[in-house]
Amino acid sequence: MELYKELNKNKEYIKNTLYGSDDIVFKEFENNGTKCFLIYADNIVRGTTIEDGILTNIMVRGEKNFDAFQMQNNLISVGETKLVQSFEEVLDAVLLGDTALLVENDNNAIIISTKGWPSRGIPEAKTEIVVQGPKDAFTELGSMNTVLIRRRIRDTALKVRRFKCGRRSKTDIAVMYLKDVAKDELVENVISQIKSLNVDCILDSGYLEQLIEKRYSSPFPQLQLTERPDKAASAIYEGRVAVVVDNSPFVILVPATLNIFFQSAEDYYERWEIMSFMRILRFFAAVLSVTLPGLYIALTVYRPDLIPTSLALKIASGRAYVPFPAIAEVLIMETAFELLREAGVRLPSPVSSAFGIVGGIVIGSAAVEAGIVGPVVVIIAALSGICSFALPNPAFVSALRIVKYLIIFMSAFWGLFGFYTSVFLVLAHLSSLESYGVPYLYPFCGGSVNNYTDFKDSILRVPLRKMRKRPIFAKAGQKIRMLFKKKEEGGK
């Protein structure tokens, strides 16, 4: 709806629309006889900007009867201003923390950027902790997050496309990418996916992630969430797209493959030998965390003849007084472990680690002493849990936790055959997944498309000097990211 020329009509419409919103401030004043009307939302604006940049300039220094356009250009000393002509734009801006100024006999309103959201400053990363490397993390302030990324990419090719999503929340979304590196189709696909959403609100990036995922019924995350600006910047350099969601300290990275969930920011800050070893360890840990409980059931219940005799006897003697079947044993310990994990998340951080250790030891040893579970099951559950903690991405770990139960149940019902079947089923599911046109199992599947160069950053992390090419995500003509002279490499 267009603004009126008459200030009173505009005032009346805006006051009626915002009736009952006591946090909205309306201020009427004059500039050399011309009536002005200022609107802003309390506590989400920077007061000093309004006072010094708007009110003082217009009320004290204003000498002539300016219209909106002249005021914008001659009186208001705030960097970001614009003229709008509709009530919707005025109201949206006010609710986002900007200030609207309406002038008598003018159907334009000046929107002045005065956002001053309450913020907790730049925090330290909590879910993606590294020993060596930057410690800063994203905050709930979307604009701050874009700044944190831009600080790391001082390139004119870095583009930030802003728009709003959510009918009622009108959440600010910023899509960031390198214009000459990211594939145009990918960028447009991501933007159109987000713009096509017709939802009430986007409260967090996790919310948006689930809405733009292709296979939302899968437990495996098909987009990557990160709280680390360095990780987001690195992804952008590779040709991926970062989606910054206001009010969320996590940024979405598109696309994402299974391989990416095994990578930690630290992998590139430390020497390649140790980090390659860590990568192998992570893959091994992932396999163990998923398969160990199921394999234990399949072997002890159905095929004890496969276990070396001495070990089989030890397991049998440990289970001699246990009144439950192996599946119940495993489920008891796994559930106890899940509860400890869930409770540990809710507790204050200084207490949670102590609670986890004490709870684990007490429950484990008490359960064994009481004869509820055998000692081997405690080891199996603990090992499976520890292995899951070795993986750097919490969303991926959650998926593995779910899959673990599928394998447990199928192994319990059909022994080793159930175990193999469930493993194949999981592999088939992973093979069927894609993330914005990239196979989920890339580079393990389809690696030939990029001449297998992406294997250099998969199970092993080769020396940085050998990672000259960008991964598959980048445009075809933008594959080279490092160039060295022959002499620098020792004449090779």
User: Smallest Cα–Cα separation from 3: which of 131, 104, 80?
Assistant: 104
> Shortest approach of another protein to residue 185 CB, angstroms?
4
| Angle in degrees, CA 447, 449, 452, rounded to 5 | 40
> Shortest approach of another protein to residue 386 CB, angstroms?
21
User: Smallest Cα–Cα separation from 282: which of 379, 386, 387?
Assistant: 387
Q: In Å, what is the CA distance from 171 to each residue of 61, 74, 111, 149?
A: 37, 32, 18, 19
Of 250 and 440, which CB lies nearer to another protein in the complex structure? 440
Amino acid at 243: V
Q: In Å, what is the CA distance from 300 to each residue of 73, 92, 290, 427, 440?
A: 80, 64, 17, 24, 34
Of 29 and 414, which CB lies nearer to another protein in the complex structure? 414
> Shortest approach of another protein to residue 441 CB, angstroms?
6
> Shortest approach of another protein to residue 416 CB, angstroms?
6
> Shortest approach of another protein to residue 307 CB, angstroms?
7
> Shortest approach of another protein to residue 251 CB, angstroms?
22
CA 433 to CA 364: how far, in whole Å? 38
Q: How many CB atoms lie within 10 A of CB 83?
A: 14
Of 5 and 303, which CB lies nearer to another protein in the complex structure? 303
Of 268 and 414, which CB lies nearer to another protein in the complex structure? 414
Of 15 and 429, which CB lies nearer to another protein in the complex structure? 429
Burial string for 353-370 (b: 16+ CB within 10 Å, else e) reads eebbeebbeebbeebbee
Of 134 and 415, which CB lies nearer to another protein in the complex structure? 415
Structure tokens given for 247: 């009010």
Question: Quick check: 332 and 363 in contact, CB under 8 A?
Answer: no
Of 163 and 452, which CB lies nearer to another protein in the complex structure? 452
CA 407 to CA 422: how far, in whole Å? 5
> Shortest approach of another protein to residue 430 CB, angstroms?
8
| Residue ranges in contact with another protein by CB under 8 A | 183, 185-186, 189, 302-303, 305-309, 414-418, 420-421, 424-425, 427-429, 431-432, 434, 436-439, 441, 444-446, 448-449, 472
Structure tokens given for 190: 């991501």
CA 420 to CA 411: how far, in whole Å? 8
CA 263 to CA 142: how far, in whole Å? 25
| Angle in degrees, CA 157, 158, 159, rounded to 5 | 105
> Shortest approach of another protein to residue 439 CB, angstroms?
5
> Shortest approach of another protein to residue 398 CB, angstroms?
22
For 9, list phi and psi in degrees, rounded to 5.
-65, -45
> Shortest approach of another protein to residue 196 CB, angstroms?
16
Of 437 and 463, which CB lies nearer to another protein in the complex structure? 437
Q: Which residues contact 473 (CB under 8 A, 6 or more apart)?
A: 182, 183, 186, 238, 239, 240, 255, 438
What beta strand segments (E) does 237-315 contain? Answer: 241-245, 251-254
Of 183 and 279, which CB lies nearer to another protein in the complex structure? 183
Of 87 and 296, which CB lies nearer to another protein in the complex structure? 296
